[in-house]
Structure 1
């Protein structure tokens, strides 16, 4: 690959050419946007790698391109292999909100095509962002955004955050009530009517990692549940899920996110488990808000399958779909669709039967589980419909 000259005609928006990525290989990309640095007189380009998810989009300089390999279409440049693509797909464990219709999707992608924040720093971690998030204009094109991990105040400069934490923020945990504590894990319920700013900031943070999340400032219909790991320094947020205060469809989860620096540790399964424990206390069947993204469906199918197979392996005799629903608080529709997807429903003698193969037991029941345990006895929570004043937080303990 030749080294480009520092003086060049600016690349056209929409052109396709090879660009050197983080793995030092060249991948075909499309130029989405460009900007001119008046101080250096250099152009920068916002590119989308054609084989990768939009979260890999980034600003690059001209030195990253192979200018001799421009294409009007995909061409025969470097192509992502199945294993490489799987690696990028599996790295995305934040469960995005539902898929959009084609027209809305095009409008969404046009409005959010360029990331406005490149990195965030929160607690002891720094991480690249994946998507656009509608922060106030004064934070537009802020390269790194610095967050207080306890109350989610954010700043454009590290020294501003340090001064804030030193002089103003006395909190060492999220606001709200601690409703669950087991080992190092804690869950805090946050009422958006009481802690509106915290919940809005949490949504802005989540949008950096969820492509199709549409809830930003209309937070009041929702309750938020912050998942934290605790040590002698405080409670460190690793993710959250939200749910509607009142859901006509009995949705027990609206949005769910594990921050990238905490992914692949079982926190997504932990949050799904907590959401179903809340449903059990409410004596209602639970299900996630629809439509589910592909990744969200995979996460839930894995959870539903594991819990059902654990029951089926221990159960003697026949068991009905309704009995499984009564034991798990899963909707019958979710049970049936999961059994069908895993090919566990067989037709024998004029009726359907559930057949549990040794392969399925090995895959879902005997596999190593790295998710934190959930002991229902540790949950100190009363449904809001049963609380005094129909919603006042009277149960749960204040964080220690």
Structure 2
């Protein structure tokens, strides 16, 4: 019996040491046991470690519990040290919830940290001014060095970062911010009646009307590195959700894509800040930056991986057929050679899918199609001695029953405000002319895409009216000349007040000085397609069946 008791004692001691070691490894959001308990989704896994620690604590032996109590009584009479108290608070917290603490703002009022999702307050933006924001998400930052701000009696520190939406701006400017960017004194609090004391309207916004918000967003386009310089009427297009369908569909879309998963990308020699969420594979969920190969759009987590890949790349241009090349003069009056490549989604699936992943980072309301077989992709490239560098693209269905000549269009932010977007639109209509059809882009148009299309339609249609030699011209004649759909011709002429409805038909009223003014306002079209240099044949569905 003595030997059995000895063995039992040794076994109990080994189990206690094993549990104690597990506690050290799994405590406070670290590795080990905490990995199995990820915590609340909104807290970035920060609650998982505390849950694991609490589980291990409950499993301590009575001897260890007595030892902890004795140690606590020796440091102040049963209360333990400050660290012990903080640890006990974390262990006793509710499952999956962050530990809350109260601080004072600069007015001496209490604020509970971390801030709740849905909170509204003021945030310092890149223009060095405070703007109203709403907290969309929060996450605990591991290995956080700490960023504080002076509030009340001292400096406030927080281990959380907050994903905020600026009420005045488009969703593309949403970002993660630390506590030092938030003005806690402006936090919207509720009085005893449950009403917010902040100056906001019923929908939680900053009191601006929808039109005012669009105007502010339009004014910011010139400040943002990815905006077009063309002035436009913000009432013609909003934040990019008007065409998504019902309000429920819009809310579902925004809920699913509310937080950008990738913050930055590197493509060629440029670094770009992303605008929206893109559904990359799960292994890239926690990747803040991605590195893209500019020739095949393969993406990697580290720059070393990209560099190893680039050593294997032999084809320094997009796959597919080069169907157009021309040399132009840029703003600096220097030669720039531009080229178009046609890529069949059925032949180059990986390339086209990678391009869709990349494009979704800058397009809010487009659906990402993994089945790219039914689409043709037209890649615009700048050509130099190092290869053909993609600057933008558009895609179109191989066969569109609705008569769409363009499904999706994107200029990469680093190449915007150069006139390339209008060249993409012009190219899509030149292809439509080759098919002896009229076409229109697939709806919805993004806000920046709508600006470019309105500008192109105005410039093209009014130039036809200006140079037409006949006595009269009809809307159908304009559509046949430009390949622009008749409804788009009518809406464009109505926008510039050059069409009237008289006696059951549309009558075009265009004075020469009015034409010149609107053509000038449409902007400069430096790059236009030369049809003589376009080498292209219409796609036939029989080509797929032949293979």
Give the one of 282, 286, 304 matched to 1:137.
Answer: 282
CA contact (8 A) 2:458 2:522 kept: no
Q: Name the CA shift for 1:38/1:366 in 2 (closer, same or farther; >3 Å).
A: closer
Counterpart in 2 of 1:147? 292
Counterpart in 2 of 1:322?
476
Partner of 1:115: 260
**In 2, are the aligned partners of 1:345 and 1:353 still within 8 Å (CA)?**
yes
**Distance in 1, Cα, partners of 2:522 & 2:142:** 56
For 1:202 and 1:27, locate their aligned partners in 2 and report how far apart those are by CA, in whole Å: 34
Aligned residues: 389
Give unpaired runs (5+ residues) of structure 1.
394-400
Counterpart in 1 of 2:517? 362
Matched residue of 1:285: which SS? coil
Structure 2 partner of 1:213: 366
Is 1:37 the counterpart of 2:123? The answer is no
Aligned partner (choices 278, 302, 314) of residue 170 of structure 1? 314
The structure in which a higher percent of residues are strand is 1
- CA deviation after TM superposition for structure 1 residue 9, in Å: 1.9
**Counterpart position of 1:75:** 199
Counterpart Cα distance in 2 of 1:139 and 1:367: 41
Instruction: Name the structure with the higher helix share.
Output: 2
**2: CA distance, partners of 1:217 / 1:109:** 20
Structure 1 pair 246/83, CA: closer, same or farther in 2 (3 Å)?
Answer: closer
Ranges in structure 2 where 5+ consecutive residues have no aligned partner: 1-104, 145-157, 190-195, 201-205, 230-236, 328-336
User: Relative to structure 1, is the Cα distance of residues 83 and 330 closer, same or farther in structure 2, using a 3 angstrom cutoff?
Assistant: closer
Q: Distance in 2 between matches of 1:293 and 1:368?
A: 19
Q: For residues 30 and 350 of structure 1, do their structure 2 counterparts lie closer, same or farther at Cα, with a shift above 3 Å needed?
A: closer
CA distance in 2, matches of 1:371, 1:97: 31
CA spacing shift, 1:391–1:260, aligned 2, 3 Å: farther
Task: Tell me the CA shift for residue 202 of structure 1.
Answer: 0.5
Cα displacement (A) at 1:213: 1.1
1:93–1:106 Cα change, 3 Å: farther
Match of 2:170? Answer: 53
Residue pairs, 1:187-226, within 5 angstroms: 187-226=340-379
The answer on 1:65 being equivalent to 2:182 is yes
Hey, what does 2:272 align to over in structure 1? 127
Alpha carbons of structure 1 residues 359 and 141: separation in structure 2 relative to 1, 3 Å: farther
- SS of the residue corresponding to residue 254 of structure 2 reads helix
Residue 192 of structure 2 aligns with which residue? Answer: none
CA distance in 1, matches of 2:503, 2:243: 40
Q: How does 1:150-161 map to 2 (within 5 A)?
A: 150-161=295-306
1:296 counterpart SS class = helix
Match of 1:256 among 409, 415, 435: 409
Instruction: Please say which structure displays the higher CA radius of gyration.
Output: 2
| TM-superposed deviation, 1:287 | 1.1
CA contact (8 A) 1:98 1:293 kept: no
Distance (Å, rounded) in 2 between the aligned partners of 1:121 and 1:25: 29
Greater RCO (Cα-Cα under 8 Å, separation 6 or more): 1
The aligned counterpart of 2:457 is 304
CA shift at 1:282, angstroms?
Answer: 1.1
Residues 1:97 and 1:192: Cα distance change in structure 2 (over 3 Å):
farther
In structure 2, relative to structure 1, the CA distance for the partners of 1:302 and 1:63 (3 Å cut) is same
Q: Once the 2 structures are TM-superposed, how far is the Cα of residue 98 of structure 1 from its aligned partner?
A: 7.6
Provide the residue aligned with 1:247 in structure 2: 400
Residues 29 and 49 in structure 1, CA contact (< 8 A), matched pair in contact too: yes
